[in-house]
Chains A and B, each alone.
Chain A
């Protein structure tokens, strides 16, 4: 069964938060929803978490018991210990005590939170708290795992460990969807949905996004005169709509950060 949204529109008050969003989330895959602040990422995952009713469109979701959800604040209770947080989720899902014990032991081992199992949520580091949030979302072996910015504010080591959790969940058959503002993270996903101002900027597997890019990306050592430029480390990138070479520069194989930045510029070009 494939989950997702089709023609999704969400209007909050008089503001259109999402419009015409299509997304399919297949079991065993990881979907990254990327975009800047206010792009509509959280609104989309809140729809998938049944926290917001869509204004228009179609939403396909498994039963509530089969959706694991992590809010951007991790969703863990600061005045409960790690094990108490996990146990509460297991009890809410009416898991048998044997099944719950095995599952919680397994999750504590996978997340590396075993030694912190008696520590209060408020005493955890940012990365540990996010790992606890993901573990809580995974307790009931969900068919659909929805994670809102699970890696934001987390150090690179913890980010890598969190990715291991997503990958394991997907390998076990869950459909995983997560939001992020880190474009480099999207590269590791099997499918990307890039949002801008509540609409789809680009959508598809990373390779198809690469193929769909119109124009070309160039590497330039000096700051280009064109306004379609962005900085990458010590170098500059420039996008040309017709693919023609700039005054100075060499062609570059764009990574996902370049692709999404160029796609944003391409849309601006169309709007102009």
Chain B
């Protein structure tokens, strides 16, 4: 038995990646997620409209952080501003009443806002509160759009990386390299099935999600399809990149999980980004799932227009081009040949 224990320790000591997973990762995860794991929303972004907007803005409790004051705007302006996802609460001051509209797609902020507004209603007669986009403040309504992204991430990153590593482990990647196929042909051929399966998965998740959990789908499908396509490029690229630095499927799974876990916890899917400590929040802002989440919730819940989602869509495009481009380059290197066209290869001595 002692010999077995010693042998196992020797093997673990030489497997640096597993060692890092076992010792460094738990510490990193504890620190990062410790700061990230919070549902408390301390500041609620607010806009105030109407004739008395400036007066109302000054007397609002501190929780409401006033981002915009427009004395000429009305209910329509307020709804439009919320649709864009600029603020969580829009207050409209009219002659006889004060109306507060809350963006229900930002679940935790909306819940905090509802509570604060309910308290304020006791002091402000005629204050009417209306929750838009997710009137019942249902958790499923904000979770299902993000879950679609998570599925894309799972299939795109884990399954793709396993598929490519399997090819390397079996020695058939070398076979592909000597065959008369261009690296681009191999690359596209390799990821095409995963692309299709992931797309199908997304459709199933969204159809089942809307049918079973009554999650609304208010916006145009094409914007979500466009966002999904770009997000898929990121995830597939990530999968191929992981496979290019993994020697076997075990290593690929380890790395894919390392890429997946932060996206689950820091993308705003579970914990709101605005609740996270500033030191870890920035991590969320470089994760692709964060922006897919914004697009999916924007389209499905708020019926956001293309122009409203331009920023997350543009970032997904940038991340997609970067990750996918890098993956293509790495893959080309793996399949690199000494001579693509010639019959005689001259090499300087």
Residues of A within 8 A of B (CB): 7, 9, 47, 49-65, 67, 69, 71-78, 89, 92-94, 136
A-facing residues in B143-201 (Cβ within 8 Å): 170-172, 174-175, 177-181
B307 within 8 A of A: no
Known: A50-B339, A58-B346, A63-B343. A89 touches B179 (CB 8 A): yes
Q: Contact: B344 with A61, CB < 8 Å? A: yes
Determine the distance from Cα of A74 to Cα of B170 in the docked complex, in whole angstroms: 9
Consensus secondary structure, chain A interface = loop
B337 at the interface (CB under 8 A from A): yes
Interface centre among B172, B175, B337, B338 (most CB of A within 10 A): B175
Residue B347 at the A interface, CB < 8 A? yes
A59 contacts across to B, CB distance below 8 A:
338-339, 344-345, 347
Contact A60 B343, CB 8 Å, known A53-B338, A54-B338: yes
Query: Which 3 pairs across A and B sit closest by C-beta, in order of nearness?
Result: A73-B171, A75-B175, A53-B338
- Contacts of A67 on B, CB cut-off 8 Å? 178
The SS class assigned to the B binding surface is loop
Give the chain A neighbours of B344 by CB distance below 8 A.
58-61
- 10 A-B contacts (beta carbon < 8 Å): A7-B349, A50-B178, A51-B177, A55-B347, A60-B345, A61-B339, A62-B343, A64-B340, A89-B179, A136-B175
Contact status A75-B174, CB under 8 Å: yes
Write out the residue numbers on chain A whose beta carbons fall within 8 Å of the beta carbon of B177: 50-51
B348 within 8 A of A: yes
Interface residues of B (CB under 8 A from A): 170-172, 174-175, 177-181, 337-341, 343-349
> How many angstroms between the C-alpha atoms of A50 and B178 in the bound complex?
7
Q: With contacts A57-B347, A93-B180 known, is A77 near B172, CB below 8 A?
A: yes
Q: Is the beta-carbon distance between B171 and A71 smaller than 8 angstroms?
A: yes
A48 to chain B, nearest CB (A): 10
B178 touching A73, Cβ below 8 Å: no
CB distance from A99 to the nearest CB of B (A): 15
In Å, the complex CA distance between A65 and B341 comes to 10
Q: Decide: A58 and B179 in contact? CB cutoff 8 A.
A: no
- Interchain nearest-CB distance for B342 vs A (Å): 8
Determine the distance from Cα of A77 to Cα of B346 in the docked complex, in whole angstroms. Answer: 33
A71 touches B347 (CB 8 A): no
> Given the complex, which residues of A lie within 8 Å of B170, measured CB to CB?
73, 77-78
CA distance A72 to B170 in the complex (A): 11
Report which of A49, A62, A94 forms a contact with B178, defined as CB distance below 8 A. Answer: A49
| A44 to B: closest C-beta gap in Å | 13
Q: Nearest Cβ distance between residue A149 and chain B, in whole angstroms?
A: 12
- B338 near A72: Cβ-Cβ < 8 Å: no
B171 touches A75 (CB 8 A): yes
Instruction: Please determine whether B180 and A76 come into contact, CB atoms closer than 8 angstroms.
Output: no
> Least Cβ distance of A21 to chain B in Å?
13
CB contacts (< 8 Å) of B339 on chain A: these are 50, 53, 59, 61
List residues of chain B with CB within 8 A of the CB of A58. Answer: 344-347
Minimal Cβ-Cβ distance residue in B for A47: B338
Q: Which residue of B is nearest A69, CB measured?
A: B178
Contact of A61 among B171, B174, B181, B343 (CB under 8 A): B343
* Residues from chain A with Cβ under 8 Å of B348 in the complex: 56
A75, B343: Cβ atoms under 8 Å?
A: no
Shortest CB distance B346–A (Å): 6
**Residues on the A chain within 8 Å of B349, using CB:** 7, 9, 56-57
CB of B42 to closest CB in A, whole Å: 54
Distance of A71 Cα from B345 Cα, bound (Å)? 21
- CA gap between A65 and B344 in the complex, in Å: 14
B286 CB to closest chain A CB, in angstroms? 34
Residues of chain A contacted by B341 (CB below 8 angstroms): 63-64
Contact check, B337 vs A50: say whether CB atoms are below 8 A apart: yes
Q: A69-B175, A71-B171, A77-B172 provided; 18 other pairs, C-beta below 8 A?
A: A50-B339, A51-B177, A51-B178, A53-B338, A53-B339, A56-B348, A57-B349, A59-B345, A60-B345, A61-B339, A61-B344, A64-B341, A72-B171, A73-B170, A74-B171, A75-B175, A78-B170, A92-B180
Which residues does chain B contribute within 8 Å of A75, judged by CB atoms?
A: 171-172, 174-175
Chain B residue at minimum C-beta to C-beta distance from A94: B180
Question: What CA separation (Å) do A270 and B183 show in the bound complex?
Answer: 47
> Which residues of A lie under 8 Å from residue B343 when comparing CB positions?
60-63
Which A residues are in CB contact (< 8 Å) with B337?
A: 50-51, 64
A94–B180 alpha-carbon span in the complex (Å): 9
Q: Which residues from chain B contact A50 at a C-beta distance below 8 Å?
A: 177-178, 337-339
Q: Which residues of A contact B181 (CB under 8 A)?
A: 92
**How far is B337's CA from A94's CA once the two chains are assembled, in angstroms?**
20
Which residue of chain B is the closest to A52 with respect to CB atoms? B338
Instruction: Give the residues in chain A near B171, CB-CB below 8 Å.
Output: 71-75
